[in-house]
């Protein structure tokens, strides 16, 4: 199995507590796949929503392929995610009952197919973010102390 990470949503780890992770395939057009292979995708403000028993990713920006001319589609169009019914039911339960969000974490190629790692996440409060930053700062200081010795 070969995996090549194309895009990561680093902001998600800062803004949310990541609870569970899922792998999903995407329904894409040929020019979108070519653009993704070139790394022209942005997950920063994207989110996943479930509508009529199907999962869709919104606000994922895939730049138009330069050589695609008439075959290019809207860069911000909603894209369907390929998940099992059981997984979708579980995600519906998380989002409706417990107040969680579905956030894309990364986009990667796996055996030639475009896959997305999405997570069930709960939003962090400002004080949670401060605590995380303090922990990272303390770890950096300890690492520096070890490096000087």
Average pLDDT, the chain: 86
Tens digits of residue pLDDT in 1-31: 678 889 898 888 888 888 889 999 999 888 8
Residues 82-123 pLDDT 10s: 999 999 988 888 888 777 889 999 999 998 889 999 999 888
Res. 77 pLDDT band, cuts 50 70 90: confident
Question: What is the structure's pLDDT at 1?
Answer: 62
Residue 119 and residue 105 in contact, taking contact as beta carbons nearer than 8 Å: yes
Q: What is the pTM of this model?
A: 0.78
Position 62 confidence tier, pLDDT thresholds 50, 70, 90: confident
Could you tell me which CATH number the domain at 3-124 has? 2.40.280.10
Show me where the domains of the chain are located.
3-124
Is residue 149 predicted with pLDDT exceeding 70? no
pLDDT beyond 90 at 124: no
């Amino acid at each position: 199995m070969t995996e090549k990470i194309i895009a990561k949503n680093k902001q998600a780890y800062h803004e949310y507590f990541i609870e569970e992770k899922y792998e999903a395939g995407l329904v894409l057009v040929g020019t979108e796949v070519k653009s993704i292979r070139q790394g022209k995708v942005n997950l920063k403000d994207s989110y996943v929503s479930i509508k009529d028993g199907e999962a869709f990713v919104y606000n994922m920006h895939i730049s138009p392929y330069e050589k695609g001319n008439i075959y290019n589609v809207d860069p911000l169009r909603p894209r369907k995610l390929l998940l099992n019914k059981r997984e979708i039911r579980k995600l519906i339960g998380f989002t409706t009952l417990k107040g969680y969000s579905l956030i894309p974490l990364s986009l990667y190629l796996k055996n030639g197919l475009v896959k997305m790692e999405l997570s069930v996440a709960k939003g962090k409060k400002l004080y949670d973010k401060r605590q995380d930053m303090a922990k990272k700062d303390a770890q950096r200081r300890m690492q520096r102390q070890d490096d000087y010795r």
